[in-house]
Structure 1
Amino acid sequence: MSTSSPNILLIYTGGTIGMIKDFKTGALRAFDFKNLLKRIPELQLLDCKIDTISFETPIDSSNMNPEYWVQIAEIIETNYNLFDGFVVLHGSDTMSYTASALSFMLENLAKPVVFTGSQLPIGDLRTDAKENLITSIQVASMQYANKPIIKEVCLYFEYKLYRGNRTTKINAEHFEAFASLNYPDLAESGVHLKINKTYLFKPNLKKSLIVHKNLDTNIALVKLFPGITEVLLNNICNTPNLKGIILETYGAGNCTTEKWFINLLEKTIKNGIHIINITQCSGGSVIMGHYETSEQLIKAGVISGKDITTEAAICKLMYMLGQNISSNVFKTIYETSLRGELS
């Protein structure tokens, strides 16, 4: 790449940020991203060149699924050598899932992939879309000695830049919609854009980008609750083709010690189904064996999800199952931080 301005590719998948209100009818419709500079003339002040690409049919993020994740990954793969950074516009509801998935799919990523969106459409008077978009592009184009400063999948929303696979959507109506409860912010946007360099992911720059497109969705998410029945759990564990279960336990990874429960987990694991223990709490970590109630889980062969988010736990499981990793090393790899998703 030359020393000229960074090239940024803006990828629009759908979501509120790309909507514009028809003031006659009040209906929202997707606007043509080719007209982005007209809508947000401030983008011309940024020292970068912006190209745009849109999903043929923009989707609501509630319809997001692994097939679309592969589409986003392929757009990045195809354009990887032509651009210095990528900004993905996405609906906020499933943004943490997509950002987590992409972090695992893009191995040895050495450029920024910044996810952003908004709570209000771009044409709204009080919209948060402009600031989120402008700063995301600015973050994606930041360089030092002609090399990108950010080299990971991240998420920018309401003045904060987070590691993508550490985020959770915590609010449906505040501008501050996301939180990263177990990992510090990567940057904060105020009068100046303050980068917390200590916390940035440091990939191996000698290795080339590898894009993983095989994700296995034969998994289940089970949230424990007082009174959960054996019949329900038994049915889930005997789902045809099931390969993994994310178990949301109490506090630091605790669960009922009733005999039927522990026996069912042991039997399920013996059948080759991986069970990952994560906490129901928004923040904090699973510490298996800390209490007697989780000691039996260790004996049964349950995998510790440590301080991983539910979103990242699901995406990591889909990614690892798609890799055909042998069962004797599966636990070790899952409990290892691959893209900074675990502390």
Structure 2
Amino acid sequence: MARLKRSEVEPHEDYGFFGPGSVVWKVWGHPTAPTVGFQRAVVVEELDPPLVAAVHRTQGIYRRSRTRYDRTLRYFAMVAFAGSRQVCQAADVLVKVHSKAIGELPYGGGTYDANDPASQLWIQLTGWHSVLYAYERYGPGKLTEEEEREYWQACAVAAELQTCSPDDIPRSREGVRAYFERMRPRLSASPIARQAMHHLLRSELVLPPTPRWARPAALAAAKTQRIATIATLPRWMREMAGIRQSRLLDVLVVPVMKTAFALARLNTWVELRLLERLSPSTVAVVAPVKLGIPPHSEEVLTPAQARARHGYPRPAEAHLEFRARQAARVFGDGKAPSDQGLIESQDILGPLA
């Protein structure tokens, strides 16, 4: 990475909510996380009718595929690796960003709200499950029983940064499976869900402009990641969404991806350069961890301690008046919601364009 030097990397303020030696750093720090794991998460999420309605309303994944991927990945990376103040800022502004994603459900009646605790729980569990699944399939393999308990406990800690309740987070693999089984009857591969899922599987859309000579390799890598992501989807989900791929490809892609990720792990600077291609805004979050640069204060806090220290409310209680004004604009006046939260988020989550 020619433009980034170790001396230029800014240390975090503290270790945030997890820190070195944690299973979160182990799993979320593996290159399977920002690639197959994250892509799987955003694809699967679209089967939830309220969530895909919000995605379709904003059109962000279509109008600015690369920056949407970049900003969302940066947020998840911040939760795992950034300092507690920075994470609290991101969680707080995200409530304002989500206040824009409200409206009438296009199918079946009712309304949707991206800040709804049920939608946030779906996003949280789909994301953490997908990242772990990719790590197990294409990375080092399964966690120990103790590590897995720690992982789902950490997921509950991270849920405190969403509008959902950490009490609703399962603490075991069996509990997570039970949650997805309960959700399955509510999932729907509506036309807008299928459109979003197929679009999000186009890995090449999040890559930066590539020189002509490098395009064949870039497209081959994008195609391989698509195959690898589809291979992690259960058959019923693929059939539901009209996604087709042979069982042979499901099997053949495993050693290819395992080898590719193992090679990427051999050199930290190569790993950071690859991350920069996918999500440039995330590099500053991950680089201090990858390069072993200690924070200013070697503390690990709880979300409650961080909120008290930095002066932020719980996300479920944040910006209630602003959210009420947004609802009045949309449901009362029939107007488009304000972009205020989206604009304010750029300094924290990265640029919109």
TM-score, normalised via structure 2 length = 0.24
In terms of fraction of residues, the more strand-rich structure is 1
> Larger C-alpha radius of gyration, 1 or 2?
1
Q: Which has the higher contact order (CA 8 A, sep 6+)?
A: 2
